[in-house]
Amino acid sequence: MSPQVFELVLLTIVTASMPLMIAALGELVAERAGVLNLGVEGMMIMGAAIGFAAAYLSGSPFIGALAGIAAGMAMAALFGLLTIGLAINQVAAGLALTIFGVGLSGLLGSDFVGLKREGSPHLYVPGLSDLPLIGKLVFGEDGFVYAGFLLVALAALFLGRSRAGLALRAVGDNPHSAHALGLPVRRTRFLAVLFGGACAGLAGAYLSLAYTPFWSPGMTAGRGWIALALVVFASWRPWRVVLGALLFGGATVLQLHAQAASLGLPGQLMSAVPYLATILALMALSAGTRRNAAAPAALGQTFVAPR
């Protein structure tokens, strides 16, 4: 394999892994606060639809990204109102949010199906971007990629090094004890859910603005569900999300190259490779009880403040 082809493969893997990494990071923060939001797919598809519409009408990918974030946060606010404000079952509300998001995105984005626009601009640093192997990989990505890695670094610092992050983890492990200590459990959980929605919306906007710069109903193609599995794979640790996203992104790229190589295998089977990799990874993790113990103790449990 030539250095140019190797660099192209690495670039493709990073591109394919970015929506998974951003969406999984937001869900990780929400789950560390004790909230299980199964509506990631719905928030992503809404971010993709609204982000593309805003970018197409304004001509600015930055405005499109902001619109995608806002769409994801709006969906997350609805989920937070139901599960945190009204104490509705989180699993049921998350599934309903996904179904609602898929349907609403198809309605709102119907006028933009088939339209195309230029992809998000890439960074170019004279001299550095032309370096072999690492030039385009490090100094030639689009803004979404750099924003994604910055979010991972900030989330790791927040959860592991800040007082607010410690409070959030305490809420996720034992909300009743946290409430007894005077911590604002509901507000903490709601803000964590909003952050998860913002990340899911940004991940969706990345799909329609950078990964494939057009809008198509169902273009998330189950990436929200893979992001949910990726949180478990990462053992609820931000930096492991990066490794897991690259692994699943690599599986996606592998099946694309395998189809292009005409190996004689059914295309439907090759398209299932990333999802099969998700199942195998979770099966491997289920054998290790120590790693599964990293889950927040109160994950998925509703909280009603005692009177």
Can you give the pLDDT at residue 231?
93
pLDDT tens digits along 164-210 = 999 999 999 999 999 999 999 999 999 999 999 999 999 999 999 99
Q: What is the pTM of this model?
A: 0.90
pLDDT tens digits along 46-62 = 999 999 999 999 999 99
Query: Across the strands, what pairs with 113?
Result: 215
pLDDT tens digits along 98-130 = 999 999 999 999 999 988 888 888 888 888 888
pLDDT tens digits along 31-90 = 999 999 999 999 999 999 999 999 999 999 999 999 999 999 999 999 999 999 999 999
| CA–CA gap between residue 16 and residue 261 (Å, rounded) | 19
Can you give the pLDDT at residue 289?
47
All structural domains of the chain with their residue ranges: 3-292
Can you give the pLDDT at residue 257?
63
> For residues 9-23, b (16+ Cβ closer than 10 Å) or e, as one string?
ebbbbbbbbbbbbbb
Q: Which CATH superfamily is domain 3-292 in?
A: ABC transporter involved in vitamin B12 uptake, BtuC (1.10.3470.10)
Work out whether the CA dihedral 33, 39, 44, 46 comes out positive or negative. Answer: negative
